[in-house]
Amino acid sequence: MEQRKPLFIANWKMNKLAQEVGAFVPKFNELTNIFSSKCEMVLAPVSVYLPKLVELTASTPIQVAAQNCGASKSGAFTGEVSPVMLKELGVHWVILGHSERRHVFKEDDALVNARLKAALEEGLIPVFCVGEKLEERKSGETFSVIERQLKGLKDISENNLKGLTIAYEPVWAIGTGENATPAQAQEVHAFIRQWLAKNISSTFANRTRILYGGSVKADNSAQLMAMGDVDGLLVGGASLDPLSFGDIVKRGLNS
């Protein structure tokens, strides 16, 4: 089986002003210096601070992600940022289909899939988020929801999917303080990997990283990362502070 390098992503959502973005980088870099070779670390600020963060992290192992991207290269799409523009800025990663995009901003599967295709075409690494709502979990629909969200991947050739990362983020666990138990996360991650093996290929399934997100904190990162199919963490609230995010990475690597 291929080694999947642990991956930790900080999703800052609509938080942090320029000065806070600037203060985070040296502090976090210093904290993670010792173990940065063992994992990949990515910070996702709001789009206006992407250039600043790319510049600040240039001589560090820290990478940068956008929180979304447009579904076209350019055009009349007010408020959107195209994947071509992200690439021009030196941004290599993009989070897509985050639950806040899907449920607060009503992005449906078709739109998320169009964004995904556009991102892949530009060679960006998408972090494709999937996850069920509480009522869907309660009514036993978790796997069918995940399957529906993954379905669009079947329309893309395996070669073009290269680099794809998946994040399982149960909606009921995001920002609620209630994380999925390691066993609950493992169950869905294993389901996603099996789906990838069946619908894309077993090589692809083995090398694709599947992250968990939803109320990750320093005191649950090791237990979550100890699960065989949890390859990394997508962290919201607890990633805003460099000490806390650094601790999540450190403990996660020692799992």
Residues near ligand PGA, by CB under 6 A: 11, 169, 174-175, 213-216, 234-238
Query: Is there a contact between 70 and 82 (Cβ–Cβ < 8 Å)?
Result: yes
Nearer to ligand PGA, 152 or 237 (CB): 237
The CA–CA distances, whole Å, from 183 to 129, 169, 176, 179, 254 equal 19, 14, 19, 11, 18
> How far apart are CB 246 and ligand PGA at their closest, in Å?
15
Of how many residues is the chain composed? 255
Closest residue to bound ligand PGA by CB: 236
- Look at the alpha carbons of 103, 107, 109, 113 in this order and tell me if their dihedral is positive or negative: negative
How far is residue 78 CA from its own chain's centroid?
Answer: 25
Residues tagged active-site: 98, 169
> How far apart are CB 204 and ligand PGA at their closest, in Å?
24
Nearer to ligand PGA, 8 or 204 (CB): 8
Nearer to ligand PGA, 26 or 175 (CB): 175
Q: Which residues pair with 233 in a beta bridge?
A: 8, 212
> How far apart are CB 143 and ligand PGA at their closest, in Å?
21
